[in-house]
Structure 1
Amino acid sequence: MARIGFLSLSATGHINPATALARGLQDRGHEIIFFGVTDMAHTITGRGLGFIPYGLKEYPVGSMQQLYNKLGKLKGTEGFQFFLERMLAQAEVVFRELPQLITEQKIEALVIDQLFPGGPTVAQYLDLPYASLAAALAANEEPGVPPLTLNWDYEDGVVAEVRNLAAWKQIGMAFIPWRDFDNSQRKAWGLTPYTKLFQDSFSLLAQIANQPKAFDLPRKELPASFYYAGPLVSAAARQPVDFPWERLDGRPLIYASMGTLQNGLDWIFRIILEACAGLDAQLIVSLGGGALTASELDIPSNAIVVPYAPQPQVLERAALCITHGGLNTTLESLMNGVPMVAIPITNDQPAVAARIRYTQTGEVILLEDLTVDRLRDLVKKVLTESSYRDRSQALQRAILAERPLIHACEIIESKVLSEIPARKIN
């Protein structure tokens, strides 16, 4: 049995799959320690996992909610730029504090979010085997697939590959400040510098995707260490959420969530409420814990608005999900055979939406096209045309057949933890 450290971003969409995987490994006898900012402590320990804080000065209690409130009002390139700035600031703290903390906790292996700043550099400096966890869409670059910040449809052929490569190059240039910051620390620690930030930092032992192969564009150049595990979900790793179940009246259920980060665009919630008003269905809107409250909204009689909803349990009953295209919400919808209408906002959400469109498990509407009438038309279309649910249920069967959590645990044990004895001897 091993003592495993987890490095995860603090956003819910990253914590949920990471803690699910951690609980799975813990149930198999391994010891788990998360290293994170203080605001993560309650969530991690509440899910029965060990936790060690870092960056107490830079990230005091309540600081992450302030960051999320700012991020929630941003979209597109503004959202990406703010994300990049946050990662650079966090990397500085990671380099300063994590090597000592990880060593003191006698960690033998690490599981590192693909987007966790500085994590792979720390692992290599400490000579620890590690797995990369793609909690969001896998960020592996290849010419046949558009970058994750774009809502481009999949196209085969040379023209599409040239277009994609140009876009990947542009994305790479945007990440140069992060790469150079990482490389300055790698030079100080005697490590080989990165050429491409992400491709060079991903684990050579195991890259685990919180995504089934059935929900991806056709890929041809994934490394041998890449594994599609599928949605990493654990009931034991989720906090219970109160909900007024008695208000449900048996009508078809529409669930709407803009996640816990991009939930500060109040006008989107207002359009969703108005678009679903008058439909022969009930609407549940989860505000995601942002600054907006139900008292500030004009709520139609067929709607229930809550700060948070017990998402897995609601989706078990839902006929449709309106989502921002966050990967966790999208995959949990598919795990329940629920089709979607996606309204992507920023980060990898446009690419998630492109995969919804590619798999024909829902429809997509861009922010610049979002109106009450257009959204209502798409909601009606997805609700009434059975093909969307049929394809969503086909993906549901494919996902369940993969046993994602067990598969991911087995990969870590066979590909990563197997390296521990050899490294101890060396």
Structure 2
Amino acid sequence: MAPMIQPMEQQITVEGPTIAIFNVAMIGHVNPTFALVQELRRRGCKVHYFLPPVAPIRAAAIESGAVVEGYLPEDPSDFVMEKCGIDEPLIHIVPEILEDDRAEFERSVWPLAQALLCGEHVIERCRQLGVSVVLYDPFLPLGLLAATKLGIQCASLVTYPGMGSLSGLMSSLEAEGRLERAATIRRPYGKAIQEKFGVDLSCDLLTRRQFYTKANFVTTCEDLIAELPALGERNWADELRREFSFSAVGCLVSSSAPHVITARSDSFIPRVKSFGHSLPVAELSDQVAKGRKIIYAALGTMALSDRWSIDLGRISAANLPYGTTGKAFCQHVWKALLAAMEELGDDFFCVLSVGKQPDALDFLGSSEAEIDELVPSNVLIRGFVPQVEMLNNYASAFISHVGFNSLQESLMAGVPLVAIPQAVDQPANAFKVGQRGWGQAFFKPMETVTSTALAEALRRVCDESGGYRQAVQCARLELAGGAPRLAESVVSMALGGC
């Protein structure tokens, strides 16, 4: 494919090492990397960013200074990496996996199937470019494969607080024997990769849900890395300690870096005219001038898109009941929030991001008029808004699912949180919010989130005398400087350092 060249005004003439980055089409995984790209470019590095064909993500990578590369020679526009190997999986290996948990089966298959499909092109392209260092999301063994085959240095970019944040899920999977079954599924793919490329990806490891390597950079401060179970308590955790090392580099959030707010199409719910994705600057400025507390509420792009119809309970470590979909979770919180805003009255104003599912607000009615009638006058609904800008310039408090990027963006903006976690690493992040005094946290939210409880939590976190904002400011100091620090480490690797 012909690489996508960056705008002329961003090109840098200083010759430096060439860095390749590999990533997935997930906002929480790509957004932290754009500030790193900017820092690498400032140091004279050339950055080639391998990405799936998702226009908003590719545009942000180019804006940050990278040259975008495709995963296949012709860079087909319909390539979806998460579908690799799924249509023709090796079902005969462990057939009961499909019956018990197809999602787990697919999660084990597609990363390795993608490596088999895309490996030849990516390895040859990295050779042509003279890549010195490979950085890759640990979802993608393709990055590890290319670096190992070419004998160049590599590191994974861990954009969540480490596998300790997944302790509940991982321990449950181990107890049910699902980690071992997943390893069985991976085994023939790993063998095929070894036969084709001569590279052993150690696919039998229990922790190969993430393809870590010897050096792994965690994009946060040391204090925010979640602890693993005690030594000897869980096999997967002991394996992680034995096989890999992790370095906290600090937060990569930057207000000057590109920030993708949605990786989907730009179509929004047609029946509500006020929906959109621009920041309502005039309205917000007016509310600030009136002395009102600005509440920003966003429950994460995954719950509002990919996980809208799937069971979050199975990946929540008992935080949500089995059968709770993204829609059920979001609408439960939204109902409580709308009622809480009525209770809070004119001293508060809320910007609520609801995504763009056609049935997002069907609990309010089936027409625009019905919905408008039931939305309080101190609530403004948007599909999405530029989150970093919203937090940095307007928000007094952030109602969040506390996905790791949202958590760190809030801390870096100095905004206290009301944490309402769903699944995966979010309960662990919410625990940290409460423990460190960064805000209020609701666990088992389908039971605990009520309009009264939410209104009281908002009053507390917005109270300047409550200590929440001061605690957040302290966290900001701990987190700062991640992008320059990580860029220096990468340059050192490229020049032959450790």
Q: TM-score range by the shorter chain?
A: 0.7 to 0.9
Matches of 1:102 and 1:272 in 2, distance apart?
A: 51
Matches of 2:385 and 2:455 in 1, distance apart?
A: 22
Match of 1:328 among 405, 410, 415: 405
Gap regions ≥5 residues in structure 2: 1-15, 84-100, 231-240, 261-276, 309-325, 362-367
Cα offset, 1:61, TM superposition: 4.9
Residue in 2 that maps onto 1:231: 251
Q: How does 1:119-134 map to 2 (within 5 A)?
A: 119-134=143-158
Residue in 1 that maps onto 2:125: 101
Select between 187-196 and 304-313 the one with higher mean Cα deviation: 187-196
TM-aligned CA distance change 1:24 to 1:355, over 3 Å: same
Q: Given that residues 149 and 346 in structure 1 are in contact (C-alpha distance below 8 angstroms), is that contact kept between their aligned partners in structure 2?
A: no
Does 2:477 align with 1:397? yes
Match of 2:377 among 280, 295, 301: 301
Match of 2:297 among 236, 252, 256: 256
Q: Which has the larger radius of gyration?
A: 2
Cα offset, 1:325, TM superposition: 1.9
Q: Given that residues 325 and 342 in structure 1 are in contact (C-alpha distance below 8 angstroms), is that contact kept between their aligned partners in structure 2?
A: yes
Matches of 1:168 and 1:314 in 2, distance apart?
A: 42
**Deviations 1:270-298 (CA, angstroms, capped at 9, x unpaired):** 32542432223111122345556785674
Q: Given that residues 121 and 186 in structure 1 are in contact (C-alpha distance below 8 angstroms), is that contact kept between their aligned partners in structure 2?
A: no
Q: Given that residues 35 and 52 in structure 1 are in contact (C-alpha distance below 8 angstroms), is that contact kept between their aligned partners in structure 2?
A: yes
Match of 2:213 among 203, 206, 210: 203
Matches of 1:330 and 1:182 in 2, distance apart?
A: 35
Cα offset, 1:329, TM superposition: 0.6
**Deviations 1:131-189 (CA, angstroms, capped at 9, x unpaired):** 211112223xxxxx463555xxxxxxxxxxxx969858967436423465345313443
**Deviations 1:244-287 (CA, angstroms, capped at 9, x unpaired):** 21112121111111222221334515325424322231111223
Does 2:335 align with 1:271? yes
TM-aligned CA distance change 1:339 to 1:288, over 3 Å: same
Matches of 1:168 and 1:19 in 2, distance apart?
A: 38
User: Percent identity, aligned pairs only?
Assistant: 22
Gap regions ≥5 residues in structure 1: 67-76, 140-144, 151-162
Q: Given that residues 293 and 307 in structure 1 are in contact (C-alpha distance below 8 angstroms), is that contact kept between their aligned partners in structure 2?
A: no
Cα offset, 1:315, TM superposition: 1.2
Give 3-state SS (helix, strand or coil) of 1:124's partner: helix
**Aligned residues, how many?**
391
TM-aligned CA distance change 1:61 to 1:47, over 3 Å: farther
**Deviations 1:379-400 (CA, angstroms, capped at 9, x unpaired):** 3443347133332222122223
Cα offset, 1:377, TM superposition: 4.1
Aligned AA for 1:237? A
Q: Given that residues 357 and 364 in structure 1 are in contact (C-alpha distance below 8 angstroms), is that contact kept between their aligned partners in structure 2?
A: no
Indicate the structure whose relative CO is greater, using CA pairs within 8 Å and at least 6 residues apart.
1
Matches of 1:62 and 1:199 in 2, distance apart?
A: 22
Matches of 1:182 and 1:345 in 2, distance apart?
A: 33
The CA RMSD measured in Å over matched residues stands at 3.7
For normalisation by structure 1, the TM-score amounts to 0.78
Residue in 1 that maps onto 2:364: none
Q: Given that residues 19 and 46 in structure 2 are in contact (C-alpha distance below 8 angstroms), is that contact kept between their aligned partners in structure 1?
A: yes
Residue in 2 that maps onto 1:45: 62
Give 3-state SS (helix, strand or coil) of 1:283's partner: strand
Q: Given that residues 81 and 114 in structure 2 are in contact (C-alpha distance below 8 angstroms), is that contact kept between their aligned partners in structure 1?
A: no
Select between 80-89 and 163-172 the one with higher mean Cα deviation: 163-172
TM-aligned CA distance change 1:85 to 1:293, over 3 Å: farther
Cα offset, 1:35, TM superposition: 0.8
